[in-house]
């Protein structure tokens, strides 16, 4: 019984840790997307200021070229994180299922213990002996 409690605590900790990891990845994806949007605005402003939107034009702003590269890198990183997020959600789901199985076993054990105690109380009452609860 005590080992099952320890396993249950361990599984709860694992689920909480995996939930934190999923939340962390989601936050990073959101941050990267926001940064990419900010860079898009900066690129548009720079293109409007320079009056050139063709990236191959000789007068195209260097800042805009660098910002486009940074934006593309951020979007690629966000896409990589999406794959990691999917995997993290899968592992979270698996850990949650394992935790549910352990909790069901604990509930079944508790129910069995109640039944055994009730049966012992009935037998003690029939025998006229005081009821002793086994620990």
Number of domains in the chain: 1
Give domain status of residue 111, yes or no. Answer: no
Give domain status of residue 51, yes or no. Answer: yes
Give domain status of residue 70, yes or no. Answer: yes
Find the CATH number of the domain harbouring 93. 1.10.287.1490
Q: Does residue 130 or residue 70 have the better pLDDT?
A: 70
pLDDT, position 64: 93
Q: Is a pLDDT exceeding 80 seen at residue 2?
A: no
Give domain status of residue 135, yes or no. Answer: no
- Give per-residue pLDDT as tens, 88-116: 999 999 999 999 998 888 888 888 888 88
Give domain status of residue 50, yes or no. Answer: yes
Q: For every residue of the chain, which 3-state class applies, written as one string?
A: CHHHHHHHHHHHHHHHHHHHHHHHHHHHHHHHHHHHHHHHHHHHHHHHHHCCCCCCCCCCCHHHHHHHHHHHHHHHHHHHHHHHHHHHHHHHHHHHHHHHHHHHHHHHHHHHHHHHHHHHHHHHHHHCCCCCCCC
Q: Are 75 and 36 in contact (CB under 8 A)?
A: yes
Give domain status of residue 125, yes or no. Answer: no
Domain that holds residue 53: 2-103
Give domain status of residue 9, yes or no. Answer: yes
Give domain status of residue 73, yes or no. Answer: yes
> 65-70, long-range: CB within 8 Å, 24+ apart, which pairs?
67/39, 67/42, 67/43, 68/39, 68/43, 70/39
Q: What is the mean pLDDT of the chain?
A: 88
- Give per-residue pLDDT as tens, 37-59: 999 999 999 999 989 888 888 88
């Amino acid at each position: 019984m005590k080992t099952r409690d320890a396993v249950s605590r361990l599984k709860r900790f694992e689920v909480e840790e995996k939930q934190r990891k999923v939340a962390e990845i989601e936050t990073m994806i959101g941050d990267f997307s926001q940064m990419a949007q900010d860079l898009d605005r900066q690129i548009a402003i720079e293109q409007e200021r320079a009056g050139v939107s063709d990236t191959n034009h000789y007068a195209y702003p260097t800042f805009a070229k660098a910002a486009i590269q940074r934006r593309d890198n951020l979007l690629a990183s966000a896409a990589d994180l999406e794959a990691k997020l999917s995997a993290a959600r899968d592992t979270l789901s698996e850990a949650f299922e394992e935790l549910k199985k352990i909790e069901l076993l604990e509930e079944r054990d508790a129910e069995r213990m109640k039944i055994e105690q009730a049966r012992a109380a009935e037998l003690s009452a029939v025998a006229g002996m005081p009821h002793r609860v086994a620990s």
